[in-house]
Chain A
Amino acid sequence: MTTQDIIKPENLVYTKTSIMNDRNMHYCPGCSHGVVHKLIGEVIEEMGIKETVIGIAPVGCAVFAYNYLDIDWQEAAHGRAPAIATAISRLLPENCVFTYQGDGDLAAIGTAETIHACNRGENIVIFFINNAIYGMTGGQMAPTTLEGMKTATCPYGRDVKLNGFPLKISDLLAQLDGTCYVTRQSVHTVPAIRKSKKAIRKAFENAMAKKGTSVVEFVSTCNSGWKMTPHQANMWMEENMFKKYPLGDLKDK
């Protein structure tokens, strides 16, 4: 049997979700954003909730998330996505609202919006990409940048005396009574991706069941910002990021 004989619609086992359109994504080669976008699209398709989902895009690399997933979107000011999601969720309680935010957006400039949306138990899903760096602006220090890690604004490595400590914001959010589900995942291997997809599904199911705020953190790579190949970045993440940001559920009620 030749390869051409195998390539028939009835034999298809994996392809791009129909929620993701044909536009080429602007992300750097190997960027974790693409995998997470894809998983969100797959879950929306599988749950059949395309018409009820409204996404809030952040400021940062994922600002153009609205270009790729075929759902209604709002583009937020930097850090304000949870406030926007709050209003939409309150005004359209039957819709399923999610934010998609990076570490700078969620854990620096938008800390207040994040914490208070979670504390109110807004019926929303927060997807949080933590790659420990500001990608869009050219690789500056993020609140989650590891101690000693070099970035454009801490070129000699993050000095905690100067810049404070890496912020484990998901741990903080898990302490709040309004969150129903806080988990930390990654998308660097097939098993990790399968777990992430389950987490995304659970978060959306929580929103549909009006259980409160779900937060799914993805410990991610920014191989361009980290100045590594995509594969090296995955290895470096396993060795360094997972120590500070261990994977697993922080809260599931």
Chain B
Amino acid sequence: MAKIKGAVVVNTERCKGCALCIEACPSDVLGMSKEVNTKGYNFVYMQNEDACIGCASCGYVCPDACISVYKVKI
């Protein structure tokens, strides 16, 4: 059976750390960084890269359009 693997790229300067993507992710991929961006916001990053299935739920719910999602079948 083909396995699907995804990856998320966060534009950390656009991210405001609202965490809606963390709630929306069905695979618990995303986490909040301890660092802040130049605006002072914590931003989201891939905490658990292997779990990502590229469903793009994080991207859809993101109010700041800061998430790009990539997906491959392997």
- The residues of A with any CB-CB pair to B shorter than 8 Å are 1, 3, 5-8, 11-17, 20, 24-25, 27-35, 37-38, 187-190, 193-194, 229-231, 234
Contacts and interface: CB of A to CB of B under 8 A. Distances in A.
30 contacts: A1-B5, A3-B49, A6-B6, A6-B70, A6-B72, A8-B70, A12-B68, A12-B70, A13-B54, A13-B56, A13-B70, A14-B67, A14-B68, A15-B59, A15-B67, A24-B14, A25-B64, A28-B16, A29-B63, A30-B16, A30-B20, A30-B63, A33-B63, A34-B63, A34-B65, A35-B60, A190-B24, A230-B18, A230-B19, A234-B23
Contacts of A7: 7, 9, 70
B34 interface: no
6 cross-chain pairs, A with B, having the tightest CB-CB distances, nearest first: A34-B63, A30-B18, A29-B16, A29-B18, A14-B56, A14-B59
Contact of A24 (B39, B67, B68): B39
A135 to B, nearest CB: 13
Contacts of A14: 56, 59-60, 67-69
B71 A11 contact: yes
Interface residues of B, number: 37
Contacts of B19: 30, 229-231
Contacts of B39: 24
Given A1-B74, A6-B7, A29 B23 contact: no
B71 A3 contact: no
A18 to B, nearest CB: 11
Given A5-B72, A24-B39, A30-B63, 9 more contacts: A3-B52, A7-B70, A13-B54, A14-B68, A16-B65, A29-B18, A29-B63, A30-B16, A31-B63
Contacts of B68: 12, 14-16
Interface of B: 5-7, 9, 11, 13-14, 16-20, 23-24, 39, 41, 46, 49, 52, 54, 56-57, 59-72, 74
B38 to A, nearest CB: 10
Chain A interface mostly: mixed
B43 to A, nearest CB: 11
A14 B69 CA distance: 5
A193 B61 contact: yes
Contact of A38 (B6, B24, B52, B65): B65
A197 to B, nearest CB: 9
A189 B5 CA distance: 22
A106 to B, nearest CB: 21
A31 B16 CA distance: 10
